[in-house]
């Protein structure tokens, strides 16, 4: 099966505590073609945990699961389970610098162990037909960003991996927190561009610090795909124009914020999990009106009325009403000012 069986031009990064199934359903309303990723889930949680760590909504396709682990047999088992559940891709985390990742011998520390990653790729590909991909950094700690990075890619690619998503920063496992590792090490986009030049046979996506669709188009001149993370979470409506402007879907027409709210209210109402609360979905929507009149009112209403012991069951629609009232008042003020 081809590693590029669906459009990889834009994807949303796997983000711990953020890109859960409710977030992904919300983002899918905004773009039909953007590739979505789960939060990283460890092999231990899938194999030994009591919860359902592979659940997702059928509407989320195309959707990839990101696995954290380093034991080839466990990675192969979890890849097989992921394929059985219907995921479109399984991705290996070789980029996360968090302490819990480091202590588990997976994530960014595996940049120094390309043979281990290669063994995982081989085992996983023998177990599944869906693409097995790797998300990594350009290096860790004192690794050379040219020689050591090229060696890592070559070894893992020789094992059969044809798609790499590269966060264009080093990870400093000594001395920087996970948050600092997303911001302090300098971005080196040319290093990722050069990888594509030297390995044109591979599908290369770039990640790190990308904030606009203009940025996406610029990167696509040099690589095959772009992965956005925190900017999409903070300003999710940026995805509303992706299908037409990035993905080339001429039939696509951006959904309105109002329609998104209405569909998410319906989504909340049909949840059957007894532990589900409206806030579990609404928390991902705080940035929906980012940069719009009423955006601050929307965030405040959801935060104040979505949590606590008695959350508002019509949280989203009532929040929308507050926003639209504020927008009408602003329109009236502006008209009166223009006619004065």
Closest CA to 93 of 115, 109, 74, 112: 109
For residue 257, give the H/E element and its range. Answer: helix 257-269
176: which 2 tokens?
Answer: 């920087």
Find out whether 209 is annotated in a ligand binding site: yes
Domain span including residue 332: 255-337
Count other C-beta atoms under 10 Å from residue 300's C-beta: 13
pLDDT in tens, 96-133: 886 555 555 789 999 999 999 999 999 999 999 999 99
For 338, residues 6+ apart whose C-beta sits below 8 A from its C-beta are none
Closest CA to 65 of 48, 45, 73, 50: 45
Is residue 36 within 8 Å of residue 91, measured between CB atoms? no
Strands 35-42 and 132-140: unpaired
Q: What is the pLDDT at residue 251?
A: 86
pLDDT in tens, 166-212: 999 998 887 777 778 777 788 999 999 999 999 999 999 999 999 99
pLDDT in tens, 128-146: 999 999 999 999 988 888 8
Distance CA 66, CA 336 (A): 54
For 329, residues 6+ apart whose C-beta sits below 8 A from its C-beta are none
Q: Are residues 287 and 225 in the same domain?
A: no
Q: Are residues 227 and 259 in the same domain?
A: no
Q: Are residues 86 and 177 in the same domain?
A: yes
Find out whether 27 is annotated in a ligand binding site: no
Is 161 marked active-site? no
Q: Is a pLDDT exceeding 90 seen at residue 150? A: yes
* Domain harbouring 320, CATH code: 1.20.120.1460
Considering the domain boundaries, does residue 2 fall inside one? no
Q: What is the pLDDT at residue 2?
A: 35
Q: Are residues 285 and 142 in the same domain?
A: no
Considering the domain boundaries, does residue 3 fall inside one? no
* Domain harbouring 79, CATH code: 3.20.20.70
Considering the domain boundaries, does residue 289 fall inside one? yes
Considering the domain boundaries, does residue 28 fall inside one? yes
How many folded domains does the chain comprise? 2
Listed residues 245, 277, 302: the one ending a domain: 245
159: which 2 tokens?
Answer: 């094992």
User: Does the CA dihedral 86-234-213-326 come out positive or negative?
Assistant: positive
pTM confidence score: 0.93
Buried b (16+ CB within 10 A) or exposed e, 238-268: bbbebbbbbbeeeebebbebeebbeebbebb
Q: Of all residues in the chain, what percent carry a pLDDT higher than 70?
A: 96
DSSP for 48-113 reads H-SS-TT---GGG-SEEEEEE---HHHHHHHHHHHHHHT-SEEEEEE----HHHHHTT-GGGGGG-
Find out whether 103 is annotated in a ligand binding site: no
Find out whether 253 is annotated in a ligand binding site: no
Q: What is the pLDDT at residue 187?
A: 95
Q: Are residues 191 and 270 in the same domain?
A: no
Q: Are residues 77 and 197 in the same domain?
A: yes
pLDDT in tens, 56-71: 999 999 999 999 999 9
Considering the domain boundaries, does residue 321 fall inside one? yes
Q: What is the pLDDT at residue 145?
A: 81
Q: Is a pLDDT exceeding 70 seen at residue 151? A: yes
Considering the domain boundaries, does residue 156 fall inside one? yes
Q: Is a pLDDT exceeding 50 seen at residue 156? A: yes
Listed residues 245, 271, 299: the one ending a domain: 245
Q: Are residues 123 and 213 in the same domain?
A: yes
Q: Is a pLDDT exceeding 80 seen at residue 268? A: yes
Find out whether 334 is annotated in a ligand binding site: no
189: which 2 tokens?
Answer: 């986009």
Q: Are residues 272 and 152 in the same domain?
A: no
CA distances from 260 to 195, 250, 267, 293, 303 (A): 39, 21, 10, 17, 18
Q: Are residues 214 and 308 in the same domain?
A: no
Q: What is the pLDDT at residue 285?
A: 98
Q: Are residues 261 and 322 in the same domain?
A: yes
| Average per-residue pLDDT for the chain | 92
Closest CA to 131 of 60, 66, 219, 45: 66
Q: What is the pLDDT at residue 102?
A: 55
Banded pLDDT at 4 (limits 50, 70, 90): very low
Candidate list 96, 109, 136, 161, residue with the active-site label? 96
Q: Are residues 51 and 146 in the same domain?
A: yes
Listed residues 193, 223, 245: the one ending a domain: 245
Q: Are residues 69 and 95 in the same domain?
A: yes
Please confirm whether the linkage preceding 62 is cis (ω < 30° from 0).
Answer: yes
Considering the domain boundaries, does residue 91 fall inside one? yes
Considering the domain boundaries, does residue 161 fall inside one? yes
């Amino acid at each position: 099966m081809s590693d590029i069986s669906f459009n990889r031009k834009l994807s949303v990064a796997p983000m711990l505590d953020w890109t859960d199934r409710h977030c992904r359903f919300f983002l899918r309303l905004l773009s039909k073609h953007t590739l979505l990723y789960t939060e990283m889930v460890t092999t231990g949680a899938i194999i030994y945990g009591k919860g359902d760590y592979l659940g997702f909504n059928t509407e989320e396709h195309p959707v990839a699961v990101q696995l954290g682990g380093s034991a080839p047999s466990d990675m192969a088992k979890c890849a097989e389970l992921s394929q059985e559940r219907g995921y479109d891709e399984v991705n290996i985390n070789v980029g996360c610098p968090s302490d819990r990742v480091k202590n588990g011998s997976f994530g960014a520390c595996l940049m120094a162990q390309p043979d281990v990653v290669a063994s995982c790729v081989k085992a996983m590909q023998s177990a599944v037909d869906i693409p097995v991909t790797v998300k990594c950094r350009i290096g860790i700690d004192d690794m050379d960003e040219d020689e050591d990075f090229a060696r890592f890619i070559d070894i893992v690619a020789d094992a059969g991996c044809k798609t790499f998503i590269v966060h264009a920063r080093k990870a400093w496992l000594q001395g920087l927190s996970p948050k600092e590792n997303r911001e302090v090490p300098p971005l080196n986009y040319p290093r990722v561009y050069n990888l594509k030049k030297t390995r044109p046979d591979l599908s290369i996506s770039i990640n790190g610090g990308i904030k606009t669709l203009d940025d996406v188009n610029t990167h696509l001149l040099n690589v095959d795909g772009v992965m956005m993370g925190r900017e999409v979470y903070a300003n999710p409506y940026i995805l509303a124009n992706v299908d037409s402007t990035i993905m080339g879907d001429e039939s696509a027409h951006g959904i309105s914020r109002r329609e998104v709210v209405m569909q998410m209210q319906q989504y909340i109402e049909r949840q059957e999990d007894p532990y589900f609360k409206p806030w579990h979905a609404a928390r991902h929507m705080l940035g929906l009106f980012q940069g719009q009149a009423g955006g601050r009112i929307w965030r405040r209403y959801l935060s104040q009325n979505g949590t606590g012991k008695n959350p508002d069951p019509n949280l989203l629609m009532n929040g929308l009403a507050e926003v639209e009232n504020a927008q009408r008042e602003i329109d009236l003020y502006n008209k009166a000012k223009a006619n004065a």
